[in-house]
Structure 1
Amino acid sequence: MFLQEVAESLYKKYGNELSNLALVFPNKRPSVFFRQHLGALITKPIWSPDLFTIHEFIQLSGNRLSADRLYLSFLLYEAYSEVMLQGGETNISTYERFYSLGEILLNDFTELESNAVAIADVYTNMADLAAIEQGFDYLTEEQKDFLTRFWNNFSVERLSLQKEKFLQLWQKLPAIFERFRVLLEDKNLTTTGILYRNLVNDTQDNAGFMDYYDKVVFIGFNALNRAELQLFTRWKESGRAIFYFDTDHHYIDDPLQEAGLFLRRNIALFGNELETGNAINRSDRPIHIISAEGNAAQVRVLPELLKDIPAVMEHPEKVAVFLADENQLMPVLHAMPSDLPYVNITMGYGLAQSPVFSLVQTIVRVQESLARHGGKRIYYQPLLQLLQHPYLYEVTDAIRLATEINEKSIVSIPAEKWASIEEKRLKMILRPLEKPIELIQMIRHVLEHQATESTESVVGTLEAQLLTATYYQLNRLEDLLLQFDHPLSLSFIGEILISVLRSLSVPLEGEPLRGLQVMGLLESRGLDFEHIILLNVNEGVLPKKAVAPTFIPDSIRRAYGLSVMENQDAIFAYVFYRLLQKAESVYCLYNNTIDDKSTGEQSRFLTQLEYETAIPIIRKSVQLQVNPQAKPAITIEKDEAILQNLRVYLGQPLTPSAINNFIDCRLKFYFQHVQKIREPESFQDEIDARMLGNILHRAIEYLYLCVAETKSGEQEILPADIDLMAGKTEWAIGQAFGQELAGDRNHEVEFTGTYKVIAEVIRLYVQEILKQDKAYTPFRIVYMEGRLKQFFPVMVGGEEWRVLLGGTIDRVDLKNGVYRIIDYKTGRDKKDIRSVDALFDRNSSDRNKAALQTIIYTYVMQQQVGINKPVNAGLYDVRNMRREGEKFDWRFREQSANGNGVDHHRMNEIITETVERLRPVIEEIFDRRVPFDQTDKIEKCEYCSFRVLCGR
């Protein structure tokens, strides 16, 4: 093991004088393992050497505190404002507009300082080399967005003006950064980048910080920035430093191998206290490459792989699971076998993946909505997200309020709706803030209460760590924001809060010397394990393609030796290859599914192993055993209980809609009309065709009821009445929305978004109906949304049953002694009928259900008014009324060519034929021998509410 070899070498060389050394590592984790290896060698008590990370060691050179990132952003803005004002600029951007741009400038400043590059030279050369004059092609869309927010009139199309502005800023950046440094010194603060530059320039605060040690030992380094190269060279030449690099001939001897890009240079400059190994290119150790169909399949196979590793139970500390994609942490933890002795998480977990982050994000959105409405209302979306959050959805107050919002589709919820809430977290979140800065304190209090809900499981412990880390981050943010003099809006504080927490990676510290290790790849630097499993070894994931945002073009970066994409690839290549050096068993899994997040290709590092080494490769493919087998056909036999339920239709109307459902699918009829299964209530943020039709029906009903209240007796509808209704259209639509969405016609609906659009569509439909009605006047309304019913005799089991047939008809009117039954339709219903038989064809894809429905109602109406009375039926196709005019009646296809519709004379014949075909259908509903089964026409299931129950 590398660290063990280093410990043995140092102890052999320095013995008890080890305490006079400073040992420096690239990161924190190796020092813990190194101390263990060193302790195993020592036979008597000695003072331990000082162990540092590189950043901790560099900080010894200064006497100033390192500044917080957000505070750096504040100071950079002050520097920017001062320099721009001195330059005669009067239109200084606010801090809120500067923030995003400042974040990129801070990245560039830190990198330039850490590499000890002359800032003035960089930005002068950028202008001199006309990098700007070549356009903005090298900027990403995200960077252009930052510029858009910084300069309101930025656009790629108006390059000349933007180039001028950008050049002005570029020319002033050296002065801005210099003023920034002065402000930091005035505050007695510093940054790691400034510490590096001061060391290179030999202007550090603590000039003799290295005199405390005989030598400084640098262990396990790979990529070095320019400042580190200069410092290490100086200390090497002065005899103050020695170096231990973890290397292998496979990538050191091959000048084209990217894994050795930095180490070949490092060894040439500084030497290596260890011999270069030759452990990668082995023929006695196979590497298992497992192709998995999806990330879930990789996780699913993990327990099986662990069972194949005997050491996992006896010596779990020798086994490590590495996540190239750290988003896989939670699935991996859930997949771990329950009998594992111990699992230690040695990696950072992105807070943005956690319920803690989503809660904070939701609280911010709720408070923003409250602020926009003066604390008296909240828009439904953020409130529902809060009430249905995993931390709150089981709270009684949350269930009650969410149910009411969904059932009534309340778009804007007034304060009185949540005034009675007693649950502490909800009560705090829904209280309007007096000052924007109070947002952070309120969220902190909410997290305090939430912390009491955490469990003691592995996942629960993780949640507790995330809550704690978020809590401390909020404290820090509040302290920083309180120091800032500029006014900050609630939305900006929320944006800062979400931005900072989104980028927060919580270090999940456990017992690194105990148990199976789960870690990210970069945490593996300097560590060795006998058995390793790597997940998501995909191209694009390993190596990663993401780079930090920057305004320094690639050409300038190369000219000054700054980091470029190849450097990042080389870093990940070394991390990957060095894991193979000491491992006895290696499993590499990758996702072979091609989608918007995955190329489906294995990492090129795996391909290189196949072609460049003698390592035996064992390939295997795994997939989730998800066999999309259709559920067995569902057949419901009619027992006594079901037959008893069906008897309800001897006193309760069997509607034409129910008959249509039975013809389409007997099982659908069973679910909906026998078992009375209803769809769960959900918020109607988008009104579907069914709801649109219901609102239209209700609006027309209210208009005619309004006219009826002004008339006495059975007076006819006249053109003046239609004009009266036209003037009340807006009122009727509002009442209809309230009734259909909330069950209360007086409920006030807020017409915004899609509601506003739908209301306008309905208004146009109502106008067209009224226009046609006005042309049809005078007539008398007999029923408006009225209930029609009539007993219908059928034979069931050898005895006569009188089934009540009927339901609610949209409208019945009377003119010149002819009754008209009207059905309002807003969909794609057609007025033509192939034949009466076709109305009952359950295998037909274009069966005219609306026609059958109105013909049945016509039969019922005729039975009520007398069979000698003329009755007709038709359709108000509101989408085509303007084109078709008064042609409301049904047409048989053979008659459609001449444009003649079905009049009341022809309707009598149609009714007779329909009743003959209807009777056996109704008898089948009650026939014990005919079960409720599924339709054979699968296409009918596409929009069926019960398709999940059926498995279709």
Structure 2
Amino acid sequence: MRKTFLEYVAEDLLKKYGTDLSRITLVFPNKRASLFLNEHLARMADGPLWSPVYTTISQLFRDRSERVVADNIKLVCDLYRIYVQCTGTTETLDHFYGWGMLMLSDFDDIDKNLADATDVFRNLSNIHELDDVSYLSEEQREVLKRFFSNFSDDYNTELKNRFLQLWQNFGNIYNSFNAHLQEEGLAYEGALYREVVNNDLATYDADTYIFVGFNMLQKVEQKLFTLLAKAGKAKFYWDFDRYYMEGANNEAGYYIRQYLEAFPNELFNRDDEIYNNFRTEKVLRFISASTETIQGRFVGHWLQNEDFVRAGRKTAVVLCDENLLQTVVHSLPSEVENVNITTGFPLAQSPVFSFVNALINLQTIGYTKSAERYRLQYVRAVLRHPYSLFLSDNCTEQLRALEEHHTYYPSRQEMAVDEGLTLIFANLEEGVADVQTYHAKLVDWILSMLKTVGKSTQETDDHLMKEAIYRMYTLFNRLHELIVSGDLSVDLITLLRLITQLVQSTSIPFHGEPAIGLQVMGVLETRNIDFDNVLLLSCNEGNMPKGVNDASFIPYAIRKAHSLTTIDHKVAIYSYYFHRLLQRAQNITILYNNATEDGHTGEMSRFMLQMLVESGHKIERLSLQAGQMPNVLQPHAVEKTDSIMQQLMKLDKLSPTAINRYLRCQLLFFYNTVAGLKESDEETDDIDNRTFGNIFHKGSQLIYEQLMDANFTVSENAIKDFLADKSALLRIVDRTFNEELFKVANANQHPQYNGLQLINRGVIISYLKKLLQMDLSLTPFRILAMEKPVEQEVVFDVDGKAHNLTIGGYVDRLDEVEEGNGKVIRVVDYKTGRKPQTAVAAFEDIFSGDKVTKNHADYYLQTFLYAAIVRDSLKWNKQKLPVSPALLFIQQASAEENDPVLRVGKERISDIAVYHNDFWAHLKALLSEIFNKERAFMPTKDRERCPRCPYRQVCYQ
């Protein structure tokens, strides 16, 4: 079996140093490789073993300094204050945060490359100052001349002025910032590294420092290697392959080729067994896929190979795009018992972040300080969150009460009914003297919430939840320390944005035994570790190599002249990672996304193309396709089975609304009326059309009940007097809001209106005024009924047998007016929407499903039905007066010569008697069709209505 690089290292260490490695320190680029090497040493040793000290290069530097590397929050906050002092800027910390991270990166690069910051930041705005750069080589001076030649013409442009003005301050910012950190005993990583390698008093206690598996070295690392090598304390193990070391054009070996002479390899460079594996026989497959998700799902298929599963830690799933982690984890088959995941789960994708976000919104944008009330939509977000149940068992009950009464602005007193809800709806304003104190109290409040939820989840088996809560608590605890100490002094908006940025950059580590089971890793975690079976996902250009980011305040030419890190050889770093991962692997499958959408280029990595051309390996090219083709879902007819007919025959009453549903779409009628599936009420803070109409109808009813005399007559003076009393209409509208929206019995009290409710309230008031002003022209008139049932029993044929059914509903208004030479009864239906532009051209259109949909002929059917019933009714029409169907569109109520009486074509229907017989004949024929067992319920032909249909998901299954 082929050995891994770390096994060769372990074997060589035991050969040279024996089993007493206690005076040896092994230094790695990262921690993970040390775990594998330790396991190899323990297995290969003949007897007891004195283990070496394991450390990383970062920790080696940190252990030799009394200063501490501060976290990025602290560093950026301190850098911001220095920046403001040096430049006099008025930029907020929120705007500066990204710049600050960029500055820190530049400062870190300067120090890790041991550049002279004074020379780097020297003001070279004038090309003549290049005469005094004797410290530069001729080549470096030429690079700078080419760069600054761009500034010689049109020097006074705004962009150049701003750049040079900022450039002039960088030296002061750098020096002041480092002096400040020195006083506090803090440092950023580059500054600490530089201090250590320049400190002649730094001690290195181990007999030997062995550096294993490094690739690119910063100048500080090279200097440390040199210092220890000259002292006879350093040994080096390099991991490479002759395939990319011998070819000068292959970038993968760019760095190691430079270091081998200065830092000689402990293993024999010409040993083919160790360093000539890339060209050995391999099974290689390149697979294109149309989406990222399908690549993650492919993991389960790939692991159906039992050899891969049995290989355990010799099998790796490597993610070039770590956003695939969730899909990959959920795609692992049950056969995989042990999994080690090295990449972290994004904290921003955990439920605790949505919980914290909801809490912050509740106390900030969700709280009206002047009214001391919360907005329902933010209260709802908190009370619905599952983590709130760890604080109070009354969350669901409280939310239900608010929604039932349409309380859109609950007070703190209304919500704080128990200890948990009192904590949620705490008064953060109390005793707060300034903004900084409020921020500290807000963050402390979040901490208390997280602490309470964390204690309640200790008994659960959800380790991810507990770890996420802990990470969030740690982050907010650090923020609290910085706010209290005065290091973080910002406005509220900046604080909230900063919290979001910090959470998005934080991940939750997975715990496990690295040396056991399938390895799911990011690219960087694969360093020094070899696998037999490798599945590399999302190996696209932009992921492998990572999109080269050359963002910096230091221009490329100046970076190059001062030997700072440039983009020239950044690709070489990822080229090494790619080739080193594959060099000892035997079974390699590489997937890439070939779609050119959602930010993806659709290109395979350049390293894959390089292998196709140069490697000499036979590479199988495949394409990953979904195993299922998407089905275009279409609604299907519902046959009238015996059980459906039984439900249908149980109907003893039909409303005109139900009949119109049938005309619009027979399936809509079936699901709603026959199957009894009621439309869901979408919870919203807005007033929907139905509620708006109910409030208007109720308001008009209450008004006319006041205006009518004992004979049910409404006079001109009654309407004018009512309109003159401005408060009368307001009282009635507020009462209707209480009854129809807020469900409050007390007419004198109601919850506070929100903005949309106030707008709707104003519209309803204006509509009612229009109605009253229009009715002035009709006075005097009698109102026979308002919101009263109008019904009639209808007998029709079902399978040759007579079947009776009650047809009817509630009429909005039934009045008796003077018209021409006599009295007429009008059946008035109020409509608060806009009047259809297309009128009903022929009587038959009323029973046409197509016409019902396109020109609202359903309005006609309902009013015709009520008019026909009233025409024959002894209760409503004892005098056998003409009956006119009328639709009153309130938005057009103030228009001149507005006549609500319906027309068919151009004919005004002064009396429904003209269409009486035809109407009943058509209606009975329609009812016979509805109850005809041989006629299935068919979907509508007008599919444009389907996306808005509440039964779409049921209908399209």
TM superposition score normalised by structure 1: 0.84
CA spacing shift, 1:125–1:616, aligned 2, 3 Å: farther
Q: Give 1:113's match in structure 2, choosing from 108, 111, 114.
A: 111
The one-letter amino acid paired with 1:428 is L
Instruction: Decide whether aligned partners of structure 1 residues 502 and 873 sit closer, same or farther in structure 2, where only a CA change above 3 A counts.
Output: same
CA deviations on 1:149-177 (whole Å, 9 max, x unpaired) are xxxxxxxxxx9889767755543332233
Counterparts of 1:364 and 1:614 in 2: how far apart (Å)? 59
Looking at structure 1, the residues matched to 615 and 835 of structure 2 have their Cα atoms a distance apart, in angstroms, of 66
- Given that 2:278 and 2:582 are in contact with CA atoms closer than 8 Å, whether structure 1 keeps it comes out as no
CA contact (8 A) 2:343 2:521 kept: yes
CA 1:482–1:727 in structure 2 vs 1: closer, same or farther (change >3 Å)? closer
| Counterpart Cα distance in 2 of 1:754 and 1:254 | 71
Per the alignment, do residues 580 and 453 of structure 1 end up closer, same or farther by CA in structure 2, a change over 3 Å counting?
Answer: farther
1:384 and 1:323, CA in 2 relative to 1: closer, same or farther beyond 3 A?
Answer: farther
Give yes or no for the alignment of 1:339 onto 2:348. Answer: no
**What amino acid is aligned across from residue 539 of structure 2 in structure 1?**
V
The yes-or-no answer on 1:177 pairing with 2:179 is no
Give the 3 Å change call, closer, same or farther, for CA 430–325 of structure 1 in structure 2. farther
Please give the alpha-carbon distance, in whole angstroms, between the structure 2 residues aligned to 1:280 and 1:180: 49
Distance of aligned partners of 1:46 and 1:635 in 2 relative to their CA distance in 1, 3 Å threshold: closer
1:846 matched to 2:841: no
Write the distance in 2 (CA, Å) between the matches of 1:375 and 1:883: 41
Cα–Cα, structure 1 residues 779 and 238, in superposed 2: closer, same or farther, change >3 Å?
farther
CA contact under 8 A between 1:60 and 1:209: conserved in structure 2?
no
Question: Displacement, 1:600?
Answer: 4.1
| Kept in 1: contact 2:647–2:674 (CA 8 A) | no
Query: Against the structure 1 CA distance between its residues 105 and 256, is the aligned structure 2 distance closer, same or farther, given a 3 Å change threshold?
Result: same
Partner of 1:152: none
Q: Mark the CA change 1:273 to 1:827 in structure 2 (over 3 Å): closer, same or farther.
A: farther
Selected match of 1:637 from 633, 636, 640: 640
1:512-661 to 2 correspondence within 5 Å?
A: 512-545=514-547, 547=549, 550-565=552-567, 567-618=569-620, 619-625=622-628, 627-628=630-631, 630=633, 633=636, 635=638, 637=640, 639=642, 643=646, 646-650=649-653, 654-661=654-661
Q: Which of residues 474, 477, 480 is equivalent to 2:476?
A: 474
Match of 2:210 among 204, 217, 230: 217
Task: State which drifts further: 247-256 or 553-562.
Answer: 553-562
| Preserved CA contact (<8 Å) 2:316 2:533 | yes
Q: Deviations over 1:425-449 (max 9, x none)?
A: x553332335532444443443344
User: How does 1:15-164 map onto structure 2 within 5 Å?
Assistant: 15=18, 18-80=21-83, 82-83=85-86, 89=88, 99=97, 101-125=99-123
SS of 1:622's equivalent in the other structure is coil
- Give the Å deviation of 1:15: 4.0
Distance 1:49 1:371 in 2: 59
601 and 632 in structure 1: CA distance in 2 versus 1, 3 angstrom threshold:
same
Q: What does the per-residue CA deviation read over 1:503-534, in whole Å, with 9 as the maximum and x for residues that have no partner? A: 11233232111111112111111111111122
**Pair 1:247-2:225 in alignment:** no
Partner of 1:187 in structure 2?
A: 184
Partner secondary structure for residue 530 of structure 2: coil
Conserved 8 A contact 2:867-2:884: yes
Q: After TM superposition, give the deviation of residue 279 of structure 1 in Å.
A: 5.2
Where structure 2 has 5 or more consecutive residues not aligned to the other structure, the ranges are 129-155, 431-437
One-letter amino acid of the counterpart of residue 714, structure 2: E
Corresponding residue pairs, total: 898
Matched, 1:833 2:840: yes
Change (3 A) 1:427 1:601: farther
Hey, what does 1:367 align to over in structure 2? 363
SS of the residue aligned with 1:794?
Answer: strand
Q: Structure 1 residue 759: deviation in Å?
A: 5.5
Give the structure 1 partner of residue 910 of structure 2: 904
Counterpart amino acid of residue 209 in structure 2: V
- Note closer, same or farther for the CA distance 1:564–1:772 as it changes in structure 2 (3 Å cut): farther
TM-fit CA distance, 1:554: 4.5
Q: Is the 8 A contact 2:639 2:935 kept in 1?
A: no
| Aligned counterparts of 1:342 and 1:483: Cα–Cα separation in 2 | 45
Which residue matches 1:198? 195
Partner of 1:286: 283
Q: Which runs of 5+ in 1 are unaligned?
A: 131-158
Judged with a 3 Å threshold, the aligned counterparts in structure 2 of structure 1 residues 736 and 99 are, in CA distance, closer, same or farther, namely farther
**Counterpart residue number, 2:133:** none
What residue in structure 1 maps to residue 887 of structure 2? Answer: 875
Say which of 378, 396, 403 aligns to 2:374: 378
CA contact (8 A) 1:24 1:53 kept: yes
Q: What secondary structure sits across from 2:849 in the alignment?
A: coil
**Whole-angstrom CA distance in 2 between matches of 1:697 and 1:161:** 62
- Mark the CA change 1:254 to 1:128 in structure 2 (over 3 Å): closer, same or farther: farther
Query: What is the Cα deviation at residue 948 of structure 1?
Result: 0.9
2:806 paired residue number: 804
Shift in alpha-carbon separation, 1:428–1:693, aligned structure 2, 3 A: closer
Q: CA deviation digits over 1:708-749, x for unaligned, max 9?
A: 315423233536268448876666665555555444486746
Q: Alignment partner for residue 320 of structure 1, among 297, 316, 321?
A: 316
Of 302-311 and 834-843, deviating more is 834-843
Give the secondary-structure state (helix, strand or coil) at the position aligned to 1:942: helix
Residue 290 of structure 1: SS of its match in structure 2?
strand
Q: 1:411 aligns with which of 387, 397, 408?
A: 408
User: Which stretch of structure 1 is more off in the superposition, 862-871 or 391-400?
Assistant: 391-400
Alpha-carbon distance change, 590 to 879 in structure 1, aligned in 2, over 3 angstroms = farther
Matched residue of 1:807: which SS? strand
Residues 835 and 716 from structure 1, CA distance in 2 versus in 1: closer, same or farther, beyond 3 angstroms?
same
Question: What aligned pairs does 1:252-271 form with structure 2 within 5 A after superposition?
Answer: 252-267=245-260, 270-271=263-264
1:255 and 1:770 map into 2 onto residues whose CA distance is: 92
1:775 Cα offset (Å): 5.4
With the length of structure 2 as denominator, give the TM-score of the two structures.
Answer: 0.84
Cα distance in 2 for partners of 1:330, 1:164 equals: 48
- 2:140 alignment counterpart: none
1:272-283 alignment runs, 5 A limit: 272-274=265-267, 275=269, 281-282=278-279
More deviation, 341-350/106-115: 106-115
Mapped partners of 2:236, 2:96: distance in 1: 43
- Residue 302 (structure 1) shift: 1.7
| Letter of the 2:183 counterpart | D
Is it true that 1:918 corresponds to 2:923 in the alignment? yes
Kindly provide the amino acid, as one letter, of the partner of residue 840 in structure 2.
I
Residue 438 (structure 2) pairs with residue 443 (structure 1): no
Is residue 306 of structure 1 aligned with residue 313 of structure 2? no
Supply the distance in 2 between the matched residues of 1:545 and 1:757 (Cα, whole angstroms): 51
Q: Deviations over 1:864-913 (max 9, x none)?
A: 34394222224344566677861534444xx4xxxx452314x4323432
- Corresponding residue of 1:148: none
Alpha-carbon deviations, 1:812-864, whole Å to 9, x = none?
44321223323415156345113222322335553622222222222123233
Aligned to 1:886: 898
Quote the Cα distance in structure 2 between the aligned partners of 1:129 and 1:832: 80
Name the CA distance, whole Å, in 1 between partners of 2:702 and 2:396: 37
RMSD over equivalenced CA pairs, Å: 3.8
Structure 1 residues 717, 283: CA separation in 2 closer, same or farther (over 3 Å shift)?
farther
Conservation of the 8 A alpha-carbon contact between 1:693 and 1:825:
no
Look up the match of 1:814.
816
Residue in structure 2 matching 1:511, options 507, 510, 513: 513
Q: Which moved more, 1:549-558 or 1:722-731?
A: 722-731
Q: Distance in 1 between matches of 2:791 and 2:415?
A: 44
Kindly indicate whether the alpha-carbon contact (under 8 Å) linking 1:697 and 1:810 is maintained by their aligned counterparts in 2. no
> Which residue number corresponds to residue 139 of structure 1?
none
Task: Tell me how far 1:35 sits from its aligned partner.
Answer: 1.6
Deviations, residues 782-841 of structure 1 (Å, cap 9, x unaligned): 444443222333344555444222212333443212233234151563451132223223
Could you say if the C-alpha distance between residues 258 and 398 of structure 1 is closer, same or farther in structure 2, counting changes exceeding 3 Å? Answer: farther
Query: Residue 706 of structure 1 is aligned with which of 700, 703, 708?
Result: 703
Aligned-residue identity in percent:
30
**Residue number in structure 2 paired with 1:142:** none
